[in-house]
Structures are given as structure tokens and as C-alpha cells.
A and B are shown apart, each in its own frame.
Chain A
Amino acid sequence: MPDRVGTPDEIVICRCEEVTEADIHQAYAEGYRTVEDLKRLLRIGMGPCGGRTCMPLLLGMVARLAGVPVAQVAPAVSRPPLKPLELARYAALQEQQP
């Protein structure tokens, strides 16, 4: 089994915001070294999935680039909601209040 199936500009790390492995390498080389900085520059993890797919991949990449164990890479803050939900369904909650 090859350990990769494409070039860095073909491998998509964040599907929601279409961020590739090459985008992350470039930003890291430009000095965006923390997950929070990479997130805000590239918007990685800010799409509908809330980073559920890309954050573990990004943490691994930053760990490899920095040459530290992944446990030493600070993750980005997780924000609610767990699943995207229509605004109108929240409005219904308000109407149920006494």
C-alpha cells in the first residue's frame, strides 16, 4: 500500500472549506504555526462539520511539521452546535418556553 494517494495539492484535508495539504504546508511555512492561527487564516474546521473530519488530520500535520508528539499540539476550541440545525427549529424552542 502506498502511504499517499495524491500530491499535496490534490489531497483535501478540510472538505467543507476545500483546504488542501499544500495550503496547510504553505501557511505553516509562512509562519502560521498554531492550529488556531491556521484555522483563522484558512478557515479549516469552520464549515458545517465543525472540524470533525479535518481537525485530527490537521493536528497530526502540525505535529509532524513541528517535530513534536501530537499530544503537545493544542487543538482549536470546539464550538456548538454539534450538528447544523435550522434557525426555525430554535425559534420553536422559544415558543415552548413558559
Chain B
Amino acid sequence: MKRRVEVAIVGGGVIGCAIAYYLTQLGLRDIAVFERSYLASGSTGRCGAGVRAQWGTEMNCRLAQSSIHDFETLADELDYPSIDFKQGGYLILAFGRAQLDQFGRNVALQNSLGIQSRLVTPDEARRIVPHLVAPDLLGATFCPTDGHCDPFKVTDAYAQAARRGGAEIHTATTVTGLRVCAGRITTVETDRGPVDCGLLVNAAGPHAAQIAAMAGCEIPYMTQRHQIMVTEPVAAMQDPMVISFSHGLYCQQTPRGSFIMGLGDPAEPVGFDMGHSWQFLADLASKIDYLMPALGSLRVVRQWSGLYEVTPDSQPLLGLAPEPANLWLAAGFSGHGFMLAPMVGRILAQLICGQAPEIDVSPLDLGRFARGELMREPSVV
């Protein structure tokens, strides 16, 4: 373990590993990633593994669209066997007039940015997903280039490529403190000894606030458990991810044949609980029984949960913190960090190296909350 690095990255999820890789691509080699458990052990490895460009704000649309473009060639770029990428689309269901109107505005915005989404009628939606019933369906939006990829493999691919580029990746290494001197972070204290750093990138997911607090920086978000489960694999029968914001539900068949389904529970208390409940399976199953009853015969093989860290506008925090002067944030992803990882990784690397970023993410700085310049994202599960 080097005792001094230029860039210290806290968090070995997809965001931390992607930033490390893109930094090596810009010629920086003096990098260390600190992960307290194994790679992708937190939010990345627990997520629903979906990737979509169908968002409701221009910022998220652009970040996600460019990221999907990266995912298309990522395995080749990173010289990795496969990231299990599947582009079967996302079908987002509309229930109620207000939701359909909002979706119409979303599609207009998405189309203006070159995203190939469209409004579809209930009949068309049922042609795209033949086992879709949802009696009260008013319509849906569909984008064929949205899809799925494997979060473990994407993280591993970034980590291996970063290592080849010279980065050190330390798993089973806990950051226990940060030393700040004259307004700058000088040292990362870990349970394997201190490491001096030129700058620090906080990519610690739901623990980012804890890490920032070690340097006296306050990050506003709330952490909340989201439960999820997977079924046994069956023959391919559902191309797109199906989402219903009204039911807080998402459901996708992976390339391996398993269905991944998850639910956001508005009554879930704020906290760090990562347990699981049978009530989740019962609630999910009854909603699936209404939306796609044919899936009721699938057998559940595993359930787990992960944490969302939800910012006041459900948008990430990117860029330099007001203080300390060398603290960079890539945090607050509000449940959609995995799908944005390629673009976030690129942009953070560009900013850290003093280059102009591909997309101007300055509106996503931490200061926006103090300025009252929130950019609320309407399309979150």
C-alpha cells in the first residue's frame, strides 16, 4: 500500500471504480481506491441493474443517454469478457391523466435531446409485453435502447482496467478518519494505516455523508431501505424493464432468464436498515398479480435490500465541495447511480484533471441547496 497518492477515492462501488479508471485514461496513475468490504458490496451490487435514458430532467436525460452509449461498447473498451448488456427497452406505465400528461412532457424533452422514446397506447404496450394486463392502464412510454447490465461485472471491469492503468484498489480497508489542515484534506486514515493524498473523491454511496462529516462537510440526503428480489431463470419472455411509478415497482428479465423485481415503499423509515421482510414479497406479489399475473408462477429464489441516499431533489451531488478545498463529491445518487456511472466517472475525471467536462454538471454542486436552486426529478421509483 502506497503511503502517499495524488487521488484517494473512498468507495469501491461502480462510481469509485469508474472514476479511478477514467483518471488513468487521462494519464493519472497515482490513485488509491478504499473499499471497506468487497467491490460492489454496497448500493451497486444491490441495485436493480436497469439502465434508462427516459428521465424527466435534461441533466439526467443527458447523463443517462451518454452512459448507455458507453455501456454499448464498455466490455470491449475495458477488455472484459461481458457485462451482460441487454437493450430490451424500458416500458414505463401511465395510470391517471396527470401521469400521462407528465409522460408526454418527458417524451418531448427526451426527443429534443435525441432519445428515441415514444408514447404508446395500452394496446401497443401489451404487444411489447404480451403478458401485461394492468386493466386501468392509460398508456405508456417506451424507449428501445434502455436496458440492463450486470453491476458486479461493470464494477469489476472498471476496477481491473484501473489497476492495469496503475491505480491501487484496496478492499477490506475501512476509512476511519480524515485529517484536515489549512482547509485541505491531507491524510486518509484507514484501519491499515494512514495514506497522504493530494485530493479526495467521496464516492461512498449511502455512507458519503459520514465520510464528508470526517472533513467537516455536511451533505443533505436521507438513506432509505429498498427491497428487491430475484426469481429462478425461465425462457426469455419479457424484453423491456416494466416500471410503474404508481405502484413504485420495477420488473425486468435479465439475459440469464431470472426476473429482478423491486418496490419502493413510501412508508419505509429513514435509516440504515438493510434487512428484508416477507411483507415486501407479499406486497410485490399482489402488485404483480394486478400488472402481470402470468409472472405469479415464477419462484422467488432470493431477496435482499440496499440503501437509496435521496437528496432533496433526487439528483446527484457532483463536483468540488465548498470546503475543504480538495474534497470532490460523487454522491447522493438517489437510487440511480449505477446507470449514470460511465458519464459520472468521465466527468469527475475531466474536472479533477482541470479539463472542460463533456456535460456541464455545475448545477449539481452541493451549493444548489443553499441557493435554493433545486432541480427536482419527477421520474423516480
Interface residues of A (CB under 8 A from B): 34, 36-37, 40-41, 46-48, 50, 79-81, 84-91, 93-95, 97
Contacts and interface: CB of A to CB of B under 8 A. Distances in A.
Given A87-B297, A88-B289, 9 more contacts: A84-B299, A86-B299, A87-B281, A90-B278, A90-B282, A90-B285, A91-B285, A93-B285, A94-B283
Contacts of B304: 79
Interface in B220-273: 231-232
A90 B303 contact: no
Contacts of B297: 86-88
22 contacts: A36-B37, A37-B38, A40-B45, A46-B302, A47-B232, A48-B299, A81-B281, A81-B302, A81-B303, A84-B299, A86-B298, A86-B300, A88-B285, A88-B289, A88-B297, A90-B284, A90-B300, A91-B285, A93-B282, A93-B285, A94-B282, A94-B286
A79 B302 contact: yes
A50 to B, nearest CB: 7
B296 interface: yes
Pick the 9 closest A-B CB pairs, nearest first: A88-B296, A90-B285, A84-B299, A91-B285, A94-B282, A94-B286, A93-B282, A40-B152, A90-B281
Contacts of A85: 299-300
B296 A80 contact: no
B30 interface: no
A94 B300 CA distance: 16
Given A79-B302, A90-B281, A90-B282, A48 B232 contact: yes
Contact of B282 (A80, A84, A97): A97
B301 interface: yes
B232 A84 contact: yes
B300 A81 contact: yes
B374 to A, nearest CB: 36
B295 interface: yes
Given A91-B289, A94-B283, A41 B298 contact: no
Contacts of B281: 81, 87, 90, 93
Contacts of A91: 282, 285-286, 288-289, 296
B301 A50 contact: yes
A81 B284 CA distance: 15
Contacts, number: 86
Contacts of B38: 34, 36-37, 40
Contacts of A95: 286
B41 interface: yes
Nearest to A95: B286
Interface in B8-55: 37-41, 45
B258 to A, nearest CB: 9
B61 to A, nearest CB: 31
Contacts of B41: 36
B303 A79 contact: yes
B276 interface: yes
A30 to B, nearest CB: 9
A91 B41 CA distance: 30
B156 interface: yes
B152 A47 contact: no
Contacts of B286: 90-91, 94-95
Nearest to B280: A90
A58 to B, nearest CB: 15
A56 B231 CA distance: 23
B17 to A, nearest CB: 14
B156 to A, nearest CB: 7
Contacts of B289: 87-88, 91
Contacts of B276: 79-80
Nearest to A45: B302
Contact of A48 (B45, B301, B303): B301
B299 A40 contact: no
A50 B288 contact: no
